A and B are shown apart, each in its own frame.
Chain A
Amino acid sequence: MASRARPLNLTAPALAVLLLALVLAPLAAVGWRGAGISLGPADWSAVRFSVSQALLSAAFSTLLAIPVARALARRRFPGRAALITLMGAPFLLPAVVAVIGLLAIFGRSGVLNQALVAVGLPPISIYGLHGVVLAHVFLNLPLATRMILQGWLSIPAERIRLAQSLGFGPAETFRHLEWPMLREVLPGVALVILVICLTSFAVVITLGGGPSAATIELAIYQAVRFEFDLGRAAGLAGLQLMVGGVAALAAWILTRPAGFGAGLDRTLALPTPRGWRRGIDGVALTLSALFLALPLAAVLWRGLPGLSDLPASVLPAAGRSVLVALTSALIATSAALILALAAARRPRPIIEAAATLPLATSGLVLGTGLFLLIQPFAPPISLALPVTILVNVALSLPYLYRILLPETRALHSDYGRLADSLSLRGWSRLRWLVLPRLARPLGFGAGIAAALSMGDLGVIALFAGERQATLPLVVSQLTGAYRTEAAASAALILVTLSFALFWAFDAGGRRVAA
């Protein structure tokens, strides 16, 4: 085993170091240009608000996802596959588009308030901490559901059959099968969501309702753009990384491998309890489907009218975005697979850190730092697309890693020794063992990576030249020039393309696995 493992073992730590360098070097470059790090009271209140809204968002998204994932895992109903696919969509929405979609339902003149007023009830306001959490749950509940569902589907059929033959009721099933699975999956899910929400910017300000809803990222914006205080920006970004690091450590400590052992891959439907549990599942599915579908429908509805007179620049921009997305997804998936396979063999803090911290980096500091690092060697504009791809890889890798890790762990403990004893190594091991067994999470993860890479404009803004606009940049240019209708349509195209990429990878993975 040792001889086989060596090449991978070297690749993974090297990759981890590279990733960490990609996160830390720009931060250091920004701090170096600044004149010492100093944080004021407003910064600390931004830190407090960032952390508390992120904790709440992660807790609600994760806890609410459990009943939805369980219902999806054990019930069969028409439209189930469509609902699972739909679960990819909200997560892929650019923040501003998601906010507009949510406001169409929950806003002051949204559907919900119109209905409340019509029946004589007082209207509700979405603006405030609760609105921020609502939006984050909308964006992240589907991701959490999909990751937890993956966990449910990975419980071997043999264990379920054993449970049935032992006459387990729902309570025993939960204690002996579902809880161990959740112990393995939940910490990673909560961690990813916590860290995404920590760096959330547009959603928090727009729905926060006032200046108290200020996040670390807003303080960084202010420091870089209005004060050019790079020391403060670096300090804030470092603090954000530290919070992300502490969260990663906590998740690492809390995670317990489920240790179900290998099965024979028989498909066996999970027990479907009757009575009130059936009702609970129905309620969870209906509410989550409505909660996700209504704002999405609003996005679709708003985008349709302007489709006919979109500016010509949308097409090449869309082409560039798809090219960037596919390249990023390919690199990110390969890198995440290498890291997750290595981490399954032997847990290593450096890999955990490298696969988490990119999420907690400040987009603005990352962009600014890369700009400072590249500038002495080449005009940054000439490297716009490579830098975009690099940043997309770093930012989407953490999701992929979290999605793959439980599966690579199971793969290692179930098949590692068998494969070693058969001298199944290198490409053939990848071809005959790893890729087939991980097809489902790989497809899902690659889909997430591709779709995420269609978005993200924050980092690229510093590098973008006149002739390299990507689709998100065109959307932002349109909204900045009063063209709200055209912007809504361009955003719809962006979302549709992201979703199509996600769907192609995800469905591909599921088909191979089935």
Chain B
Amino acid sequence: MGFSIPDHSVATWRKTMQKQLLAAGLLTIAMPALAETPVLTVLTYDSFTSEWGPGPAVEKAFEATCACDLQFVPAGDGAALLARIQLEGAASDADIVLGLDTSLTAAASATQLFAAHGKTPATNLPVDFADPNFLPFDWGWFAFVHDKTKLAAPPKSFEALAASDLKIVIQDPRSSTPGLGLLMWVKAAYGDRAPEIWQGLADNIVTVTPGWSEAYGLFLEGEADMVLSYTTSPAYHLIAESDDTKGAALFDEGHYMQIEVAGKLAATDQPELADKFLDFMLTDAFQSVIPQTNWMYPAVTPATGLPEGFDAFRPAKSLLLTPDEAQAARDAALAEWQAALAR
């Protein structure tokens, strides 16, 4: 679809223009209401819906079985999703919210906008996870990723990292979910000693970025020796770029987990279809798409197994605060973090 103006008659030009305006979404108000096939609207984060994310394959697979139109609506990142659904309240057109993580689910449940799913599916998560409102669709371990050719022996704990003169980039917990995850990681591993750990890390931190992509970009540019990311990040480089140089440092105190979940909105006008989607979410058709599009572990390991590289960096111990603990710990942990890193 281009926007060049054809040089034939004005009438044709007008028609073309109208079509293009339509395509541009200027005139698409209330079109779905006229359609006969039911529409399931899933609110999710940007990278899920992009053409290299899981969205397109999931949409195709689900629409093949549901006789419906599955529409993904991108809404920024995980934290933006929750704000968005609170803004819309019960008036939301969305039926499903997909992409919150466990540091956000307590706040999400408190809005009372979500409906119980009433399911107890078997999953392959390394920890027990059950939430009345939310079902997991993928998960990962946070980890510090480094270049193996430049750093042959990465530190084995936060204390070793703090004692080293390695430089790291992290994300700001005030604007990013991985940043918040790191805050919870240190809290879950060290409890009251967390401020001391942060003070030790202060001279290792090159800078704090607003989101994951900026931090990872800085790391790839060579601005830091390590970056807060996931244990599965090296698998991306291995599979997509045939680059075996990236590694994830395994820490003895264990690794904090990010579990990404989806939930049905109480005000949905398609409750059956929404339930059907949540069931579908844990089948192979959905789960097998996850590893090489979202670069996370699927909640249910598909029959085909995991791609290469996904077993390369498996921590011995998993850490996770319950959603309520995470919610309760956040403000104090944030204040400790700010105080310890203030210069």
Please list the residues of chain A having a beta carbon within 8 angstroms of any beta carbon in chain B: 33, 42, 96, 99-100, 103-104, 107-109, 127, 201-202, 205-212, 214, 218-219, 221-222, 224-226, 228, 311-313, 315-316, 319-320, 322-323, 368, 371-372, 375-376, 378-379, 381-386, 461-462, 464-468, 473-474, 476-484, 487
**Least Cβ–Cβ distance between A86 and chain B, in angstroms:** 24
- Tell me, rounded to whole Å, the shortest Cβ–Cβ distance linking B121 to chain A: 27
One of A319, A473, A474 near B1 (C-beta < 8 A):
A319
Chain A CB within 8 A of B251 CB: no
Given known contacts A107-B223, A312-B51, A477-B47, A462 and B25 CB-to-CB distance under 8 angstroms: no
- Please give the distance in Å from B290's CB to the nearest CB on chain A: 13
List of A residues within 8 angstroms of B28 by Cβ: 382
Contact B25–A222 (Cβ < 8 Å):
no
B25 touches A382 (CB 8 A): yes
Considering the complex, give the chain A residue whose CB is closest to the CB of B56: A466
- In the complex, which of the residues A201, A312, A382, A464 contacts B29, with contact meaning CB atoms closer than 8 Å? A382
Asked whether B34 is an interface residue with its Cβ less than 8 Å from the other chain, the reply is: no
B175: chain A residues at CB < 8 Å are 205, 218, 221-222, 225
Taking a contact as CB atoms under 8 Å apart, the answer to whether A228 and B83 are in contact is yes
B209 touches A205 (CB 8 A): yes
Which residues of B in the span 73-87 have a Cβ within 8 Å of any Cβ on A? 73-77, 79-80, 82-84, 86-87
| Complex alpha-carbon distance, A127 and B74, angstroms | 33
Alpha-carbon distance between A127 and B210 when the two chains are bound, in angstroms: 14
Contact in complex: A479, B221 (CB < 8 Å): no
* B218–A466 touching, CB < 8 Å: no
- Distance A411 CA – B71 CA, assembled complex (angstroms): 55
B47: A residues at CB distance < 8 A: 477, 480-481
Contact between B216 and A210, CB atoms less than 8 A apart: no
Partner of A228, one of B82, B209, B211: B82
Q: Is the CB of B3 within 8 A of A319?
A: yes
Judging by beta carbons under 8 Å apart, are B216 and A127 in contact?
no
Residues of B with C-beta under 8 A to A315: 1-2
B174 with A206: CB separation less than 8 A = no
Q: What is the CA–CA distance of A392 and B28 in the complex, to the nearest angstrom?
A: 21
Report the Cα distance A37→B337, complex, angstroms: 25
User: Which A residues touch B208, using CB under 8 A?
Assistant: 205, 208-211
Does the CB pair B210–A211 fall under 8 Å? Answer: no
Q: A376: which B residues are within 8 A, CB to CB?
A: 91
B307 on interface, CB distance cutoff 8 Å: no
Task: Find out whether the CB atom of B83 lies under 8 angstroms from the CB atom of A386.
Answer: no
Interchain CB contact under 8 A, A466 and B49 = yes
Partner of A206, one of B72, B88, B209: B209
The listed residue with most B CB atoms (<10 A of its CB), out of A107, A381, A482, is A482
Known: A210-B207, A461-B75, A480-B46. A311 touches B51 (CB 8 A): yes
Which 3 residue pairs of A and B lie closest in terms of their CB atoms, listed nearest first? A109-B222, A479-B213, A480-B47
Besides A210-B207, A482-B295, 11 more A-B contacts (Cβ < 8 Å) are A42-B338, A206-B207, A212-B341, A218-B210, A311-B52, A319-B2, A319-B3, A323-B3, A371-B87, A466-B71, A477-B47
Query: How distant is the Cα of A44 from the Cα of B264 in the complex, in angstroms?
Result: 39
A218-B172, A313-B51 known; A108-B25 Cβ under 8 A: no
Interface centre among A201, A464, A473 (most CB of B within 10 A): A464
> Closest residue to B85 on the A side, CB-wise?
A228
Identify which of residues 20-60 in chain B touch chain A, using a CB-to-CB cut-off of 8 Å: 23-26, 28-30, 46-47, 49-53
Q: Is the CB of B221 within 8 A of A109?
A: yes
Cross-chain pairs A/B with CB under 8 angstroms, 18 sampled = A103-B218, A108-B206, A108-B224, A109-B222, A127-B206, A209-B207, A209-B208, A211-B338, A212-B338, A226-B180, A228-B86, A372-B87, A462-B87, A466-B71, A466-B72, A474-B50, A478-B52, A483-B52
**Quick check: A108 and B3 within 8 Å, CB to CB?**
no
A478 to B343, CA, bound (A): 34
Q: Note all chain B residues with C-beta closer than 8 A to A212.
A: 338, 341-343
Question: Are the CB atoms of A464 and B214 closer together than 8 Å?
Answer: no
- In the complex, what residue of chain A is closest to B86 when comparing beta carbons? A228
Residue B303 lies at the interface, judged by CB distance under 8 Å to chain A: no
Partner of A379, one of B29, B222, B342: B29
Minimum CB distance partner of A461 in chain B:
B76
Does the CB pair A201–B240 fall under 8 Å? no
A225→B49 contact, CB < 8 A: no
Shortest Cβ distance from B194 into chain A, in angstroms?
A: 15
Is residue B107 within 8 Å, beta carbon to beta carbon, of the partner chain? yes
Distance A465 CA – B93 CA, assembled complex (angstroms): 13
**For the complex, what is the distance from the CA of A480 to the CA of B1, rounded to whole Å?**
25
Residues of B contacting A42 with CB < 8 Å?
338
Known: A386-B26, A462-B76. A316 touches B1 (CB 8 A): yes
Nearest CB in chain A: distance from B80 CB, A = 6
- Kindly provide the distance from the CB of A147 to the nearest chain B CB, expressed in whole angstroms: 29
Q: Which residue of B lies closest to A368 (CB)?
A: B87
B24 pairs with A225, CB closer than 8 A? no
Q: A381 to B214, Cβ gap below 8 A?
A: no
Please give, as numbers and ranges, the residues of chain A lying within 8 Å of B24 by CB-CB distance: 320, 323, 385, 468
Q: How far is the CB of A90 from chain B (nearest CB, A)?
A: 18
**Whole-angstrom distance between the alpha carbons of A381 and B206 in the complex?**
39
Contact B74 A378 (CB under 8 A): no
Known A-B contacts A208-B208, A476-B213; the reply to A482 vs B25 at CB < 8 A is no
* Given A104-B221, A466-B71, A483-B52: A206 touches B167 (CB 8 Å cut-off): no
Known: A313-B51, A371-B87. A468 touches B172 (CB 8 A): no
Q: Are A202 and B29 in contact (CB under 8 A)?
A: no
State whether A109 and B217 are in contact (beta carbons under 8 Å apart), knowing that A205-B172, A382-B29, A477-B46 are contacts in the complex. no
B174 touching A218, Cβ below 8 Å = yes
Nearest chain A CB to B295 CB, angstrom units:
7
**Shortest Cβ distance from B340 into A: residue:** A211
Q: Which of B51, B86, B223 contacts A108 (CB 8 A)?
A: B223
User: Measured between alpha carbons, how far is A128 from B81 in the docked complex, in Å?
Assistant: 31
B86 to chain A, nearest CB (A): 5
CB-CB nearest in chain A for B52: A481
Are B209 and A479 interface neighbours, CB within 8 A? no
Contact B51 A322 (CB under 8 A): no
Quick check: is B333 within 8 A (CB to CB) of the other chain? no
Least Cβ–Cβ distance between B296 and chain A, in angstroms: 12
Cβ contact within 8 Å between B209 and A481: no
Determine the chain A residues whose CB is within 8 A of the CB of B211 once the complex forms: 480
